[in-house]
Structure 1
Amino acid sequence: MSKNFLFATWSGGGAVPPVLSVARALRERGHSVRVLADSSLHEEVAASGAEPIAWTTAPQGDTADPAKEVLKDFEARTPLGAFARLRDRIVCGPAADYARDTLAELRAHSADVLVADSSLLGTLTAGEAAGIPVASLATTIYPMPTPGAPPFGPGFAPATGMLGHLRDRILMGLIMKPWAKGLPALNAARVANVLAPLDSVVDAFCRVDRCLVLSPRALDYPSRRFPDYVRHVGPRLDDPAWVGELELPTGDAPLVLVSLSSTFMNQRVVLERIAEALGTLPVRGLLTTGPAVDPATIRAPGNVLVTAAAPHSIALRHAAVTITHAGHGTAVKSLAAGVPLVCVPLGRDQREVARHVEFAGAGITVSKSSSPRTIARAVDRVLHDPSYRREAQRLAAEIAAETATDRAVAELEALAERTTGRDEGTPGHDAAERSGLNSVG
């Protein structure tokens, strides 16, 4: 039976395609799907087959134009400053606006399930207030604290020994503390919608029926344990609608795919250093700048083809190595194709993704300030040490098994079939327990 799904997303760069991939899959199964999204995303939403709906009071941005971005985290001088922008401009600050717009849409058109990017706490609040099943989509490695993993953010390996566990306890307090500044705005949104205030922002991420992690379980730490409501449903490997046709550089030398962020992260200088590095190696380079950087501004040697975009899923069939900022989408697509990586994290969740790639043995990491010579050495090492490709191919086999069926669609259809009130393990239960800090499934 056809069901009605309301999705919600924002102009979050690489987080958008996996969300719309799930929406597309539901449409292909005959369900009705509407997507609350920034106007800049409406063409992409329509290409997925879903109906785009504009935010009216919530923030609107366009990552293709740095001047129109909501976050502008490239202006932040420190990682904490970048985090504060996400907290204050998306997650907590405009929570009341996101809740207001979401509830208005639910009143205009009922939905069987609300599905939201996990960072939109205002939208999740609206779903809780409306009393309908709510699913959040985590479009990267699961970021909430759980046993068996270090605190998310700094990119540390799992703790070993007493000193390692002491490190994690200290870091957990330091990382959780900045969330407190977002709690008043979040609780104001909750109280306005007749919901009890929370003790912490982290609790709000857990007040959902399902958190669907669109990331390979095989990429996370084997020792990690998750709450029962968290389900790894596999990555989405579709290319965005705007990527265009594939053009490969001429020749038969090994192909190196280069892809940094699809949003603006001051990456032009890094792209030029990578291009210069590839100019010293017997390889072909396919360098995609993304919508936020004009390819004409990138100086590159003759063995490097610079283009705005390319379908990575097809290009990776030809690639020997990917050089990436360790954005989750590019990293996982590369691993799904059995292609090892050289990671050059620029910020956000990228240090974490890079660390997980290294931990799995499928790539190495260099600093964004690395010289062309250092980058070239890293590429040469990954090209000629067969262990990196072997581990990437191991992950490819595990990802293939994980994505053989569409687990995200199955979970959402199961939520839509609910006809009674919330059962155990839903937002009515103790938030601290459901957060995974005290209980795991």
Structure 2
Amino acid sequence: MHYLVALWDGGGTVPVEIGVVRRLLARGHTATVLADPTLAPDVADTGAEFRSWTRAPHRTSQAPGDDVIKDWECRTPVALLNRLCERIITGPAAAYAADVREALRERRAHAVIASGPVLGALVGAESMGLPTVALCANIYNRPVPGIPPFGSGLGPARGPLGRARDRAMNALAARLWNRNIAPLNAARAELGLEPLREIWEQWDRAALVLVLTSPAFDLPAELPGNVRYVGPVLDDPVWSGPPAVPEGYEPLVVVGLSSTYMRQADVLRRIVAALRRLPVRAVVTTGPAIDPAEIPGTEKVQVVRSAPHAQLFPLADVVITHAGHGTLIKALAAGVPALCLPMGRDQGDNVVRAARHGAVIGLKPSAGPDQIAAAVRRLLEDPSFRRNAEALGGRIRADADSTALLDALEDLPRDDAPHGRLASA
């Protein structure tokens, strides 16, 4: 089968979604990846065909000023929600749809796979009668009964009052999302599709919504019938450099914060200050958004731009992370407890999920070196954190090693219509 895969440069979601492409090609399928130019090297590494967005928003460099969202400018969750809608989810829906339709006219596909937030890509594929798949590259993030609103950082409901809290907050979240529905419905109307009552109904039009995490990690909820948990993709980004582990026998701490810009340089400096006070070795990765020269290290605390988590985490005694899903799920899959300093997006939600299993400690990102050092010391000295991480990690690895992802994609209904139908759509 040939798939059109429509992605956006969402930072931590990229290795996951590129990993989906890599697995399809390894199974003998082919793919065209329609994405930001910044993802061209990642796509080339898979062997898939790359095609850039032209009308739709896209990044041309990893410089913070070229970020489409610039979420660090948003002072409230509502401001961030509106920014996401305006710049990715609904505002440019017509542009995304147009790029998808053009790509399909030039090379027919049996199905279209899209990053879940890029609703316009799903609209374009729907208008051409193709099966569609929405990828949810972290936890399930649509408002549904049983899960507090995405990005709230709230724990699961306890008792009638907790369930009432979730119902009220999810209803409010749905109203906030749906204030931004007009551009999405305008794009649908332009292509002859009926309007939606709410934004995320676009996912209901997909053949599948694939959640790329372990159900053992996420919260149980009442989900639509087309949603499938297919396990996490644990791939490292292609730009990961070689590991650089300081020599010695002290416990190893690995630090990995966001791969995109979140004003995290000061947090990294406080983490390094904390680690200097402890009898540990450490590898601190800054990611492409932060110059390692901004974060002075020591002989025992190596600061590098990147290093492969797949090689480092099995050696680690503790991971320190912002709790982005990709980093945290890989730490847990390796059976390593984590200190989490969530800075936004889904990160507080991920801390809640891991903390349910007793595998992490969460601190505010404003925590000082003393607090950070104390939390690392506790993770090293209390063996229950390691035991709990290993128990959860076994379940995560089993889901990651399963064939559920490829089975779901290969079981899609095939669209074997002649080229002419797509060419004239």
User: Above 0.5 in TM-score?
Assistant: yes
Secondary structure at the counterpart of residue 200 of structure 2:
helix
- Determine the structure 1 residue equivalent to 2:94: 96
Q: Could you tell me whether the CA contact under 8 Å between 2:273 and 2:369 is conserved in 1?
A: yes
- CA distance in structure 2 between the partners assigned to 1:290 and 1:50 by the alignment: 25
CA shift at 1:416, angstroms? 5.0
Secondary structure at the counterpart of residue 182 of structure 1:
coil
- Determine the structure 1 residue equivalent to 2:103: 105
- Determine the structure 1 residue equivalent to 2:125: 127
- Determine the structure 2 residue equivalent to 1:435: none
- CA distance in structure 1 between the partners assigned to 2:145 and 2:61 by the alignment: 35
Partner of residue 158 from structure 2, selected from 146, 157, 160: 160
Partner of residue 377 from structure 2, selected from 375, 380, 391: 380
- Determine the structure 2 residue equivalent to 1:297: 294
Residue 302 and residue 79 in structure 1: after superposition, are their counterparts in 2 closer, same or farther (change >3 A)?
farther
Q: What letter corresponds to residue 64 of structure 1 in structure 2?
A: Q
Alpha-carbon RMSD? 1.4
1:412 paired with 2:409, answer yes
Residue 27 and residue 416 in structure 1: after superposition, are their counterparts in 2 closer, same or farther (change >3 A)?
farther
Q: What letter corresponds to residue 268 of structure 1 in structure 2?
A: A
CA shift at 1:168, angstroms? 1.2
Q: What letter corresponds to residue 158 of structure 2 in structure 1?
A: T
Q: What letter corresponds to residue 313 of structure 2 in structure 1?
A: L
Residue 119 and residue 209 in structure 1: after superposition, are their counterparts in 2 closer, same or farther (change >3 A)?
same
Partner of residue 262 from structure 1, selected from 241, 252, 259: 259
- Determine the structure 2 residue equivalent to 1:32: 30
CA shift digits 1:225-251 (9 cap, x unpaired): 322211111000111111021111121
Higher deviation after alignment, 308-317 or 157-166: 157-166
Secondary structure at the counterpart of residue 411 of structure 2:
helix
Higher deviation after alignment, 332-341 or 78-87: 78-87
For residues 310-349 of structure 1, the aligned pairs below 5 Å read 310-349=307-346
- CA distance in structure 2 between the partners assigned to 1:241 and 1:108 by the alignment: 28
Q: What letter corresponds to residue 68 of structure 2 in structure 1?
A: V
Q: Could you tell me whether the CA contact under 8 Å between 1:279 and 1:302 is conserved in 2?
A: no
1:243 paired with 2:257, answer no
For residues 65-84 of structure 1, the aligned pairs below 5 Å read 65-84=63-82
Q: Could you tell me whether the CA contact under 8 Å between 1:64 and 1:264 is conserved in 2?
A: no
Higher deviation after alignment, 178-187 or 315-324: 178-187
Partner of residue 228 from structure 1, selected from 220, 225, 228: 225
Partner of residue 307 from structure 1, selected from 299, 304, 309: 304
CA shift at 1:419, angstroms? 6.3
CA shift digits 1:245-273 (9 cap, x unpaired): 11111211111110100000000000000
- Determine the structure 2 residue equivalent to 1:279: 276
CA shift digits 1:175-231 (9 cap, x unpaired): 22221231111111110110011111121233211011111111012x423222111
- CA distance in structure 2 between the partners assigned to 1:79 and 1:324 by the alignment: 21
Q: Could you tell me whether the CA contact under 8 Å between 1:11 and 1:63 is conserved in 2?
A: no
Q: Could you tell me whether the CA contact under 8 Å between 1:273 and 1:371 is conserved in 2?
A: yes
Q: TM-score, normalised by structure 2?
A: 0.95
- Determine the structure 2 residue equivalent to 1:21: 19
Higher deviation after alignment, 401-410 or 384-393: 401-410
Q: Could you tell me whether the CA contact under 8 Å between 2:146 and 2:166 is conserved in 1?
A: no
Q: Could you tell me whether the CA contact under 8 Å between 1:263 and 1:292 is conserved in 2?
A: yes
CA shift digits 1:7-31 (9 cap, x unpaired): 0101110111111111111111221
Q: What letter corresponds to residue 173 of structure 1 in structure 2?
A: A
- CA distance in structure 2 between the partners assigned to 1:34 and 1:149 by the alignment: 34
Secondary structure at the counterpart of residue 59 of structure 2:
coil
Aligned length: 417
Q: Could you tell me whether the CA contact under 8 Å between 1:12 and 1:63 is conserved in 2?
A: no
Partner of residue 113 from structure 2, selected from 108, 115, 123: 115
Secondary structure at the counterpart of residue 219 of structure 1:
coil
Identical counterparts, % of pairs: 45
Higher deviation after alignment, 264-273 or 166-175: 166-175
- Determine the structure 2 residue equivalent to 1:392: 389
Q: Could you tell me whether the CA contact under 8 Å between 2:245 and 2:302 is conserved in 1?
A: yes
Q: What letter corresponds to residue 309 of structure 1 in structure 2?
A: S
Secondary structure at the counterpart of residue 231 of structure 2:
coil
- CA distance in structure 1 between the partners assigned to 2:379 and 2:205 by the alignment: 42
Secondary structure at the counterpart of residue 353 of structure 2:
helix
CA shift at 1:70, angstroms? 0.6
Q: What letter corresponds to residue 116 of structure 2 in structure 1?
A: S
Residue 160 and residue 124 in structure 1: after superposition, are their counterparts in 2 closer, same or farther (change >3 A)?
same
- CA distance in structure 1 between the partners assigned to 2:218 and 2:24 by the alignment: 27
Q: What letter corresponds to residue 281 of structure 1 in structure 2?
A: L
Q: Could you tell me whether the CA contact under 8 Å between 1:11 and 1:62 is conserved in 2?
A: no
Runs of at least 4 residues of structure 1 off by over 3 A? Answer: 416-420
CA shift digits 1:79-118 (9 cap, x unpaired): 2222221111001110100000001111111100100000
- Determine the structure 1 residue equivalent to 2:420: none
Q: Could you tell me whether the CA contact under 8 Å between 2:320 and 2:339 is conserved in 1?
A: yes
Q: What letter corresponds to residue 248 of structure 1 in structure 2?
A: V
Secondary structure at the counterpart of residue 205 of structure 2:
coil
- CA distance in structure 1 between the partners assigned to 2:31 and 2:415 by the alignment: 18
- Determine the structure 2 residue equivalent to 1:364: 361
Secondary structure at the counterpart of residue 6 of structure 1:
strand
Q: What letter corresponds to residue 51 of structure 2 in structure 1?
A: I
Partner of residue 179 from structure 2, selected from 173, 181, 198: 181
- CA distance in structure 2 between the partners assigned to 1:146 and 1:176 by the alignment: 10
CA shift at 1:302, angstroms? 3.6
Q: What letter corresponds to residue 137 of structure 1 in structure 2?
A: L
Q: What letter corresponds to residue 29 of structure 2 in structure 1?
A: H
- CA distance in structure 2 between the partners assigned to 1:259 and 1:63 by the alignment: 21
- CA distance in structure 2 between the partners assigned to 1:302 and 1:245 by the alignment: 18
Higher deviation after alignment, 369-378 or 63-72: 63-72
Q: Could you tell me whether the CA contact under 8 Å between 2:339 and 2:362 is conserved in 1?
A: yes
- CA distance in structure 2 between the partners assigned to 1:280 and 1:260 by the alignment: 20
Secondary structure at the counterpart of residue 316 of structure 1:
helix
- Determine the structure 2 residue equivalent to 1:433: none
1:351 paired with 2:329, answer no
